Amino acid sequence: MKNFVKPDLSPYFAGLPVIGIWMRFEYENVNNYTQCVNVMHNWFNIAEDKECKNIVKKQCYLSGARLIYNLLTGKTFESKLII
């Protein structure tokens, strides 16, 4: 995508606990569409990690990944699950 505009997730990060600092740092390094999709997939993987026992961390990453999916596709993640 030639004219990629990175979605502004500042309001999302502002409402998160301390884990939001790490998520914001990772997201700030996104410069193109492919990197944005890679971060989204990485966050989905962290949210689905069986080793992680921190439920708050998992929920933060899951909701962040779903937000990116929504902003990139214009559809909710739940609509993907129905198809």
Can you tell me the distance from the alpha carbon of 43 to that of 68, in angstroms, rounded to the nearest whole number? 10
Which residues neighbour 36 within 8 Å (Cβ) at sequence distance 6 or greater? 4, 6, 7, 30, 68, 72
pLDDT in tens, 22-44: 999 999 999 999 999 999 999 99
5-17: pLDDT as tens digits: 888 999 999 988 8
DSSP calls for 10-64: HHHHHTS-THHHHHHHHHHT--SHHHHHHHHHHHHHHHT-SS---HHHHHHHHHH
Report the predicted TM-score, pTM, of the whole model to 2 decimal places: 0.84
pLDDT in tens, 45-65: 999 998 989 999 999 999 999
- The predicted pLDDT at position 76 comes to 82
